[in-house]
Structure 1
């Protein structure tokens, strides 16, 4: 490999042009160089290959046997290098890939499911695998390629990740149909008299953003049940007088529940997608991220 240390790619380009044009002036024009510059490059080539390479004759420049032997491999090298640096082009309908998407249960339900359905229409040979994000080393999974993309709250991002905001998430309160609270005036006091089911991704927590907001008002609520999955909420609410406060995008399609605007301000958060630098310039990954951004727009503006 030491032989490559003194081999200039521009010299190979010049040799290829000279072999095809058999004329220094035409080779110079093709390379967008001056004739003296190409002549100098030819001298360097002669020194490098220890061969005259071209001999002047009444018919122009004739390549030596050494030059003719170099013609095919030099052309192949230049073609391979050109292919190496050429941007990756792909057709989604021909793409075969397993896209690995991590997120919370809410993130997967809100964005991951419509994303997978859209991908199925655009690229039928692409598979989508969902992964739970809780308790996992986010940056490591993205670095190693175990995950391609993560859907999460902006507050969960680390400084070494690229990200794009998708939409602002707010909170909504939900109760069963015919709940007694629906006949009462909807105030902070009424809210605090209810008993709640809280979704805590890691399980076992009994306070969240709602409690932080109440604390600022000098109020408290009663959280009776803590669950790790949003999917448990509907059954718990429909069979009891419990209430819940959950992300609005998760609840808005629940026709089996009554949705109420919280009677006080609960700070929302930015939903984002995050990826590692290794995938930042990959055209295929960029395409997937654009599809996710399109899905987020549709979720934001149904």
Structure 2
């Protein structure tokens, strides 16, 4: 495409040509375009110079288009219609959308969110393509670069003004370990944790978290002589917990599913800490005028709202029962 040549053309001239072809009269075309007749005559002169053709000749009933004008008319309506469609925002229909949306979503968050969200999307937008990335660092930067459309993660300490953030709720942190683990028989202390290996469930950008309890556990796991395993596969981590003396700091809500948490016990953190792991939905301002993204934002927040009534009480009961 020769953009340099296009830049020399006043596209308003093409609109004027379209109106002249429809009206076949300089005066009537001027009325439609809200300009004077002399101004319209001047525009016609510019059109004749642009196309190197008279375009119209005088006739007893208005103006008669030349063969060149009729040739231009064939493509002009289509071109102007395409430009109009390009700048006009069509009403979004989720049932017809086959767009792809990329979401950063850790597996332990997806375990609660995705089953209900995909059920909702299947009913309303069956052709939509959702791409879930479970392990990605620098999520705010990735959102700004357009490599992510949404991120659902543990709340960070700071978000710039260019980010849209919605609170999704929270869960108390807990220590997950197998039923019958030695730590189950006596109140655990931070020092006692050093005697057992730890599973570090992947948390993106954990050093930027607003709540420091999980960061504190991560820092402890680096002590000499204490084994550790970092993993992003939740189901694998839960299976390791069932069969070893590893423990894992994680959101307490993971124990709400009897199937996934069978044989797993949730203990409170071994220090006084009433904080919760707060979760947020984040998007960049570049998508704020996108009907698709605004619709999907609503679907995610509504799904969380529907889940919320039964989650917090059950989770806290599981954690506080052993206090």
Q: TM-score, normalised by structure 1?
A: 0.70
Look up the match of 2:11.
Answer: 9
Secondary structure in 2 aligned to 1:77? Answer: helix
Distance 1:36 1:266 in 2: 78
Do the aligned residues in 2 keep the contact of 1:135 with 1:202 (CA within 8 Å)?
A: no
Q: Does 1:287 align with 2:299?
A: no
Look up the match of 2:254.
Answer: 250
| RMSD value, Cα | 4.3
Quote the offset at 1:106 in angstroms. 1.5
Look up the match of 1:93.
Answer: 95
Do the aligned residues in 1 keep the contact of 2:104 with 2:136 (CA within 8 Å)?
A: no
What residue ranges of structure 1 are gaps of 5+ in the alignment? 185-189, 215-222
Segment drifting more, 99-108 vs 4-13: 99-108
Q: Does 1:130 align with 2:132?
A: yes
* Cα deviation digits, residues 283-302 of structure 1 (max 9, x gap): 43443333223223233344
Look up the match of 1:48.
Answer: 50
Segment drifting more, 275-284 vs 47-56: 275-284
Distance 1:235 1:92 in 2: 38
CA distance 1:69–1:173, shift in 2 (3 Å): closer
Look up the match of 2:165.
Answer: 164
* Aligned match for 2:235, one of 231, 236, 240: 231
Look up the match of 2:213.
Answer: 210
Do the aligned residues in 2 keep the contact of 1:116 with 1:128 (CA within 8 Å)?
A: no
Segment drifting more, 255-264 vs 11-20: 255-264
1:73-84 alignment runs, 5 A limit = 73-84=75-86
What residue ranges of structure 2 are gaps of 5+ in the alignment? 218-225, 311-323
Distance 1:3 1:236 in 2: 66
Secondary structure in 1 aligned to 2:250? Answer: strand
CA distance 1:157–1:115, shift in 2 (3 Å): farther
Look up the match of 2:151.
Answer: 150
Look up the match of 2:315.
Answer: none
Quote the offset at 1:161 in angstroms. 7.2
Distance 1:58 1:211 in 2: 87
Distance 1:235 1:45 in 2: 76
Do the aligned residues in 1 keep the contact of 2:154 with 2:277 (CA within 8 Å)?
A: yes
Q: TM-score, normalised by structure 2?
A: 0.66
Quote the offset at 1:15 in angstroms. 1.0
CA distance 1:199–1:87, shift in 2 (3 Å): farther
* Aligned match for 2:304, one of 282, 296, 302: 296
Do the aligned residues in 1 keep the contact of 2:23 with 2:29 (CA within 8 Å)?
A: yes
Quote the offset at 1:180 in angstroms. 9.3
Query: How many residue pairs align between the two structures?
Result: 285
* Cα deviation digits, residues 202-228 of structure 1 (max 9, x gap): 59x9xx9437679xxxxxxxx876553
Secondary structure in 2 aligned to 1:61? Answer: strand
* Aligned match for 2:189, one of 189, 192, 198: 192
Do the aligned residues in 2 keep the contact of 1:134 with 1:202 (CA within 8 Å)?
A: no
Look up the match of 1:267.
Answer: 275
Distance 1:265 1:67 in 2: 79
Distance 1:244 1:4 in 2: 62
